[in-house]
Structure formats: C-alpha cells, structure tokens
C-alpha cells in the first residue's frame, strides 16, 4: 500500500484515487510548504489506517466536495 515518507513529505507516492466516504473519519489537506513541495491529502479511516489520496485526481476532489456539500446541508 502507499508508504509514508519519513522526512519531508507524508506521502511517498501519488496515493489512491478512491476511498469510500463512509469509511473516512478525517480528511487532512496539507498545502505545499517549504518542508514538502507538493500538496497532500491524507485520509484517516475509521479503522485508524491512514491513506494518501491523489490530490490531482478528479475523484479525490469530488469526494472532498461531497463531504463539504454534506456540511452545507446540515
């Protein structure tokens, strides 16, 4: 599975495109910074596992917009 990169960035590879919204406990969106030159999206699953998601994937972006959308309809 995708490995976490010790040192500068969390995600060593591009990450996955799809994770089921119902399995997600938390999204972390980390904009690029001096310590890691690329933006990262890390999801913590209800199983406590953490996964990197591909920030450039439309599927990933739609997933986050869906999560945001749910908030708007609260």
Question: Closest approach of Cβ 1 to a copy of itself, in Å?
Answer: 21
Q: Are 43 and 51 in contact (CB under 8 A)?
A: yes
| Tokens describing residue 18 | 């799809």
Instruction: Look up residue 5 and give its two tokens.
Output: 């990169």
Q: How far is the CB of 27 from a copy of itself (least distance, A)?
A: 4
Q: Which is nearer to a copy of itself, 51 or 55 (CB)?
A: 55
- Residues lying near a copy of itself in the complex (CB under 8 A) are found at 21, 24-33, 38-39, 41, 55-56, 61, 64-65, 67-68, 70-72, 74
36 phi, psi to nearest 5 deg: -145, 115
Query: 6 or 21, CB closer to a copy of itself?
Result: 21
Which residue number, 2 or 61, has a Cβ lying nearer to a copy of itself? 61
Is the CA virtual torsion 11, 12, 18, 20 positive or negative? negative
């Amino acid at each position: 599975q995708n490995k976490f990169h010790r040192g500068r960035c969390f995600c060593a590879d591009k990450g996955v495109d799809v994770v089921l919204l119902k399995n997600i406990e938390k999204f972390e969106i980390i904009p690029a910074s001096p310590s890691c030159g690329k933006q990262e999206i890390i999801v913590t699953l209800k199983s406590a596992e953490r996964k990197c998601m591909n920030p450039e994937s439309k599927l990933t972006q739609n997933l986050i917009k869906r999560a945001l959308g749910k908030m708007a309809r609260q």
